Amino acid sequence: MASKTSIDFNRTKELKEFDDTKAGVKGLVDAGILNIPKIFVRPDEELAADELNTSQKNIEVPIIDLTDIGDENRHKDIVNEVRVASEEWGFFQVINHGIPLSVLDEMIEGIRLFNEQDLKLKKEMHSRDRGKKVKFNTNFDLFASETADWRDTLTLSFLDSDPDPSIMPQVCRGSTIEYIKHMKRLAETLFEPISEALGLRPDHLSSIGCCKGHSLHAHYYPPCPQPELTLGVKKHADGSILTLLLQNHISGLQVVHEGQWFDVRPTRDGLVVNIGDLLRILSNDKFKSVKHRAIANHVGPRITVPCFFSGHDSLLDKSFGPIEELISEVNPPRYKEFLLKDYIAKFLSRSLDNKPPIDYYKL
């Protein structure tokens, strides 16, 4: 027992010492480390049982072309493609979405500049206060998880309000404000075919507030000297309704499909879309929310910007559960109803490697 207590104490001490630097994972790389600290090393049994399978890599996550989405015939095709991708993969990429490449490139560049600016400026943004709308840290669950992940994150959470420029980092302020505008518009566009793919009116999901409550997490993955020992993000399913993800040219995202890991390779014009646990609940399991992760790389930085839509402000105190129109005698509800604020509290109080909130509400 004494040995375990000693190990736990040392780990806690190491975590605190690392977090107190406020320099993040990039600070370790800048210091020239050759071996990653123990807090980032995955357990031996997890490494031994790693599910990564290199076969069947010719199968790709579906790519959906949104060109002419307003055309009646093309719209029907897109709805069908969204339905198949959401039911079979829980993931797809969209291209020709109408967002200028310059907006995407400037967002990636802004996050690079934020992370590579003078450390003193970056430290001013460092916080673990959940109430802060804008903050920088390493892993929201750093002190709760079994293993730390190899990434630093700038979080911008504005829920239903417009971004307040004054509290955003100056170095990426303009690019972020512009990017968020386009993300909101794309979400509004996508929720129409997603609603129709469920057999609902085009405006159904938007009308219940699914387009609202967005938060943006800009992840910076520095090159890792021992990528085989750690992960960029541990295996999890998103707790959101829908996630829209921008990634730079470096691969790292992997999704579970038919029991195997598949790479979601970056596409120049592409944005990754994935179904979150909340949409899985709303769809009564018609749509999948699947486990995914980010591997670490020798090269970097890898930069990704997921935008999570969770309907926070508009749905927070309302009863949440499977959509009534999707329930029948032959398709009874698979989840009990709950308050969204209780679900979010569960999500924020746990580590990504613990029991997901969705499991508490299964019937």
Considering the chain, what is the average pLDDT of its residues?
A: 91
248 to 138, 163, 294: CA distances (angstroms): 20, 24, 13
**Residue pair 308/243 in contact by the 8 Å Cβ criterion:** yes
Q: Which among 240, 213, 214, 244 is positioned nearest to 315, based on CA atoms?
A: 213
The rounded distance, in Å, linking the Cα atoms of 120 and 277 is 38
Q: Is residue 306 part of a domain?
A: yes
Q: Would you say residue 93 has pLDDT above 80?
A: yes
In tens, the pLDDT along 258-288 reads: 988 999 999 999 999 999 999 999 999 999 9
pLDDT of residue 74: 96
Q: Is residue 24 part of a domain?
A: no
Q: Mean pLDDT over residues 346-360, rounded?
A: 79
Q: Would you say residue 160 has pLDDT above 60?
A: no
pLDDT of residue 95: 98
In tens, the pLDDT along 15-33 reads: 999 999 999 999 999 999 9
What are the backbone dihedrals phi and psi of residue 201, each rounded to the nearest 5 degrees, phi first?
Answer: -60, 150
How many other CB atoms are there within 10 angstroms of residue 1's CB atom? 5
In tens, the pLDDT along 197-215 reads: 999 999 999 999 898 878 8
Q: Would you say residue 312 has pLDDT above 80?
A: no
Q: Mean pLDDT over residues 177-188, rounded?
A: 95
pLDDT of residue 2: 42
Peptide bond just before 169 cis, omega within 30 deg: no
**Residue pair 320/270 in contact by the 8 Å Cβ criterion:** no
Based on C-alpha coordinates, what's the Rg of the chain?
A: 20
In tens, the pLDDT along 236-248 reads: 999 999 999 999 9
The residue behind tokens 């309907």 is 311
Class of residue 177 by CB neighbours under 10 A (exposed 0-12, middle 13-18, buried 19+): middle
pLDDT higher for 302 or 163? 302
Q: Would you say residue 4 has pLDDT above 70?
A: no
**Number of domains making up the chain:** 1
Q: Is residue 9 part of a domain?
A: no
Q: Mean pLDDT over residues 311-340, rounded?
A: 87
Q: Is residue 77 part of a domain?
A: yes
Q: Would you say residue 56 has pLDDT above 80?
A: no
pLDDT of residue 9: 56
**Residue pair 134/126 in contact by the 8 Å Cβ criterion:** no
3-state secondary structure of 28: helix
**Residue pair 68/74 in contact by the 8 Å Cβ criterion:** yes
pLDDT higher for 355 or 77? 77
Instruction: Mean pLDDT check: name the lowest of 41-45, 157-161, 330-334.
Output: 157-161
Q: Mean pLDDT over residues 337-359, rounded?
A: 82
231-236/292-295 β-pairing? antiparallel
Residue type at 64 in one-letter notation? I
| Three state DSSP letters for 138-175 | CCCCCCCCCCCCCCEEEEEEEECCCCCHHHCCHHHHHH
Q: Locate all alpha helices (DSSP H) within 166-266, ordered by sequence.
A: 173-197, 204-207
Q: Which domain holds residue 264?
A: 39-361
Q: Is residue 129 part of a domain?
A: yes
The rounded distance, in Å, linking the Cα atoms of 281 and 337 is 10
Residue type at 298 in one-letter notation? H
Q: Is residue 280 part of a domain?
A: yes
Q: Mean pLDDT over residues 150-172, rounded?
A: 85
Domain harbouring 331, CATH code? 2.60.120.330
Q: Is residue 14 part of a domain?
A: no
pLDDT of residue 164: 80
Q: Which among 258, 184, 171 is positioned nearest to 220, based on CA atoms?
A: 171
For CA atoms 164, 168, 170, 171, the dihedral sign is negative
214-221/302-309 β-pairing? antiparallel
Q: What residues contact residue 10 under an 8 Å CB cut-off, 6+ apart?
A: none
Identify the band that residue 52 occupies on the pLDDT scale cut at 50, 70 and 90.
low
Q: Is residue 15 part of a domain?
A: no
